[in-house]
Amino acid sequence: MSMEYAASRALYRQRNARGGDLRALANRALLQRIWTFSARHHRRIGAFVAVSVVGAVLAVSTPVLAGRVVDAIVHGGTPTTVVLLAAVIAAVALAEAATGLLTRWQSSQIGEGMILDLRTAVFDHVQRMPVAFFTRTRTGALVSRLGNDVMGAQRAFSDTLSGVVSNLVTLGLTLGVMLGISWQITVLSLVLTPLFLLPARRIGRSMAELSRESAIYNATMNTQMTERFSAPGATLIKLFGHPARESSEFAARAGRVRDIGVRTSMLQATFMNSLTLMSSLALALVYGLGGVLAIGGHLQAGAIVSLALLLTRLYAPLTALANAHVEIASALVSFERVFEVLDLVPLILEDDDAVAVPTGPVSVEFDDVRFSYPAADKVSLASLEEVAVLDDRGGDEVLHGISFTAQPGQMVALVGSSGAGKSTIASLVARLYDVDSGSVRLSGTDVRDVTFASLKETVGVVTQDGHLFHESIRANLTLAAPGASDDELWDALRRSRLADVVADMPDGLDTVVGERGYRLSGGQRQRLTIARLLLGSSRVVVLDEATASLDSESEAAVQQALTEALAGRTSIVIAHRLSTIRAADVILVVEDGRIVERGTHAQLLARGGRYTTLYETQFRDDEAAA
């Protein structure tokens, strides 16, 4: 048993440790929640059940009518009677086909409708989760909830529900008709049932376990492909990885999936052969005992034919119902995993009485801000991180009493060593996290009292990596202004010093930038994110190491674009290269989550403190590099 499978099974058992897997899952609360969630499909479900009953009645009618045809032939019935009965059988067959199509259409409508409801609910909910959630969650595991688990939940309605309903009705009607024809033969036929159902249940459990194991291996392979086939992942493998080892690991997992597939196919073949054998034995019993009863005058020949045909329709529903608990348990697992995500409470919520950021130029105020990153159990799920138990301990405090004010139109720069807390401070301006104590205010209004829409319009952020989607330049730009015209897009590109570059591209604004913008250079990506910022109406700009990874030429182009972007706006700038923030109105030196120095470039140099050390060290490094 592989480590992935063993770990996943441990997680599965732990999540369901409330008294056994099936008992924990098939509880009234979960079923009630599923029923409530499917509320808008209740009328269609009722119609589906009604049509299923009609279909079952039609299915039972054909064997009975076939027996009547045999009796008419044996007992000297007229040709007209035989033809009339045959015509009725044909009409019933047509009606049965029509109801079959109708039930399938209805079950598909219900199942696909549930997919739509679940996917949109999960997608909308995940979008509301805080950044801390995404920094902990494995993307492949999260995508699996929108894919595999939603599909598993959908099958509960499109396949399991339809199967259980139709099989119950068919089984009940078939047994009733068979008992009416000959209770002796019916009882004897049922005596053989346990000989088949017990192995069938065992096979069903084995197939469910194999299905679960296959899903785990497939999810692991999907995660490996997602990580390795991305541009940065592929580059990392080529530079530092071992492609042969990667291929070997992937082949091992794929080989296990193959083995599972072969074993599953053999179990299915064994099951179908057993069903065929059981049906043949039962038919032999019907013909043997029925023939004896017919010879003794206790049964008509047509009744034997009807019983034989009805018997062929008896074992399939019995088998399906015997294994229905496996399908139901699997479906409930999927529902529980989906509801698990929906039950995560977003830490960053909009207050019911939230207001817009005051109009006009905006000041940014930090008042005795203390902050620590939230504990894992507050923002994530163990199953999404592939750990047994989430850590319930919060992180150490990373900001200790941060206080400063950026007046409207001012540039406040944050400098310091890596891990000092600069990016954390910047993230609080955009309310990517909430403070533990103190407050962050925009023009006197706490960001926790501001609407999300207003905050998004007010605060613009440019990060070091300049993230772009695998879409066109136009699509990436209009994220900031969905209704922007081409003239506005070109104006933003000109102001970000990128218009000439885009104009030279064969597809212009419709050029696809590649995953994360990898078809563009680092400087081009940054200027495109700045153009996106210029399209918006941001009055506060946060720059987090926007030029840290660029060469001198690209940095110069980006700095020109930044000058345009910052004009007239309040800005919080994190800079690695101190030469880029010498003109800042206030420079804050951050160390270990505290502001240890503040002032202008000249004032800080005159003091000869930490800033002077940073500046002189960088100056010497630049000279050495030159």
pLDDT tens by residue, 306-319: 888 888 777 778 77
pLDDT at residue 549, rounded to an integer: 56
Task: Classify 300 in phi/psi space as left (phi over 0), alpha (psi -120 to 50) or beta.
Answer: beta
pLDDT at residue 84, rounded to an integer: 93
The two counts, helices (H) then strands (E), for the chain are 27, 10
pLDDT at residue 6, rounded to an integer: 47
Would the pTM count as exceeding 0.85?
no
* pLDDT band of 5, cuts 50, 70, 90: very low
Residue 72 scores a pLDDT above 50: yes
pLDDT at residue 578, rounded to an integer: 83
549-557 LR contacts (CB < 8 Å, sep 24+): 549/464, 549/522, 550/522, 550/523, 550/526, 551/522, 551/523, 553/523, 554/521, 554/522, 554/523, 554/526, 555/523, 555/580, 557/497, 557/523, 557/527
Side-chain half-sphere of 106: how many Cα atoms within 13 Å?
22
Residue 77 scores a pLDDT above 60: yes
Residue 283 scores a pLDDT above 70: yes
What is d(CA 463, CA 229) in angstroms, rounded to the nearest whole number?
Answer: 24
Q: What is the pLDDT of residues 400-446, one digit of tens each?
A: 999 999 999 999 999 998 889 999 999 999 999 999 999 999 999 99
pLDDT at residue 118, rounded to an integer: 86
What is d(CA 484, CA 516) in angstroms, rounded to the nearest whole number?
Answer: 22
Residue % of the chain over a pLDDT of 70: 86
Residue 72: closest CA among 83, 62, 63, 61 = 83
Question: How does DSSP assign 429-489, residue by residue?
Answer: HTTSS--SEEEEEETTEEGGGB-HHHHHHHEEEE-SS----SSBHHHHHTTT-TT--HHHH
- Point out the least confidently predicted range of 186-195, 384-393, 408-417, 495-504: 384-393
* pLDDT band of 344, cuts 50, 70, 90: confident
- Point out the least confidently predicted range of 41-50, 138-147, 499-508, 592-601: 138-147
Residue 495 scores a pLDDT above 80: yes
Residue 473: closest CA among 452, 499, 448 = 499
Which comes out higher in pLDDT, residue 334 or 370?
370
* pLDDT band of 323, cuts 50, 70, 90: low
Residue 624 scores a pLDDT above 70: no
For residues 286-296, average pLDDT: 84
pLDDT at residue 555, rounded to an integer: 66
CA distances for 215 relative to 60, 207, 226, 585, angstroms: 38, 12, 16, 57
Contact 428, 330 (CB under 8 A): no
- Point out the least confidently predicted range of 207-221, 433-447, 546-560: 546-560
Domain boundaries, the chain: 14-343, 364-385+394-464+541-624
461 phi and psi angles, rounded to 5 deg: -130, 135
* pLDDT band of 239, cuts 50, 70, 90: low
- The superfamily in CATH containing domain 364-385+394-464+541-624 is P-loop containing nucleotide triphosphate hydrolases (3.40.50.300)
Contact 150, 115 (CB under 8 A): yes
* pLDDT band of 186, cuts 50, 70, 90: confident
Which comes out higher in pLDDT, residue 500 or 517?
500
Q: What is the pLDDT of residues 523-541, one digit of tens each?
A: 788 888 888 888 888 899 9
Q: How high does pLDDT run on average in the chain?
A: 81
Q: What is the pLDDT of residues 119-151, one digit of tens each?
A: 888 888 888 888 878 877 777 677 777 777 787
At 415, is the secondary structure helix, strand, or coil?
A: strand
Which comes out higher in pLDDT, residue 384 or 575?
575
Residue 3 scores a pLDDT above 50: no
Contact 371, 428 (CB under 8 A): yes
* CATH 1.20.1560.10 is right for the domain spanning 14-343: yes
Neighbours of 134 (CB within 10 A): 13
pLDDT at residue 92, rounded to an integer: 93
Contact 154, 114 (CB under 8 A): yes
pLDDT at residue 552, rounded to an integer: 64
